[in-house]
Amino acid sequence: MKILSSEQIRKADEWTIAHEPVSSINLMERAAWAFVQALQNLNFTEGNPAYEVYCGPGNNGGDGLAISRLLAEQGSKVSVFLLPAEKHSADYKENLKRLQKLSAGSITISDSLPSLKVSKENNLSEKRILIDALFGTGLNKALEGIAAEWVSYINRQKGAVIAVDIPSGLPADLSFLPGTNVVRAQHTFTFQFPKLSFFFSDNAPFVGHFRILNIGLDEHSVLQVLTYLKKQ
């Protein structure tokens, strides 16, 4: 098993994009497909549940937008919540455009959280699935402000919580720091490599059951990536 740091993962992505070659947006699409397929294999996704996808402004949010589109295209009811931010990654912007072009009556997009009344009603549903795509491995500080409020909101809800790549607020390379806001996920679907922080016992309540999703790198490619990283 190969465990890379968040910086190594970033360089591995860059290497893959340059040498496969594959565009970053298509690599994100590949990851989104892997996530949706893994999601559909969970027992509690039977009966066409309602999905709520919480998207941050970076590439983790871009993953969430791509996942939302794929779920909606398959006929699922999807509510997408966009964390307000001044800047967004290029792949986030592209996936938002693709999502907005989708003419599906089963999808709604909002830049604010549901009201408390709606939230209370939704708590009664056993078929409610919350997908955490707020922040990924690039996060290097504790969440604060509206981002921390959104994490707290997710943690107060009833329904299964599935994290995209890593629970938002959890450092990729460290143990949980007391007093910080971290999403408590029942399942974490992580891409290609497990994160070091998954193996700290203090982080277990946030990571839940984690599963590594292959996004198209074969063993030969992984060895090439590691060789590349050693030279940096």
Amino acid 125: pLDDT: 46
Q: What is the DSSP letter of 114?
A: P
Q: Which residue has the tokens 């947006």?
A: 25
Amino acid 219: pLDDT: 57
- Greatest Cα pair distance, the chain, in angstroms, is 55
Please check whether residue 128 is in contact with residue 53, taking contact to mean a CB–CB distance below 8 angstroms: no
Question: What is the per-residue pLDDT across 119-152, written as a single tens digit (0 to 9) for each?
Answer: 544 444 447 899 999 999 988 788 999 999 999 9
pTM value > 0.85: yes
Please check whether residue 138 is in contact with residue 58, taking contact to mean a CB–CB distance below 8 angstroms: yes
Residues constituting the chain = 232
Q: Which residues of 145-184 are buried (b: 16+ CB within 10 A; e: fewer)?
A: eebbebbebbbeeebbbbbbbbbbbbbbbeebeeeebbbb
Amino acid 13: pLDDT: 80
Amino acid 152: pLDDT: 95
**Low-confidence residues of the chain, pLDDT below 70?**
45, 103-105, 115-126, 176, 217-226, 228-230, 232
- Burial class from Cβ neighbours inside 10 Å (0-12, 13-18, 19+) for residue 214 reads exposed
Amino acid 162: pLDDT: 97
Amino acid 228: pLDDT: 67
Residues with Cβ < 8 Å from 179, sequence gap 6 or more? 142
Amino acid 88: pLDDT: 97
Domains and CATH numbers, the chain: 6-230 (3.40.50.10260)
Amino acid 179: pLDDT: 72
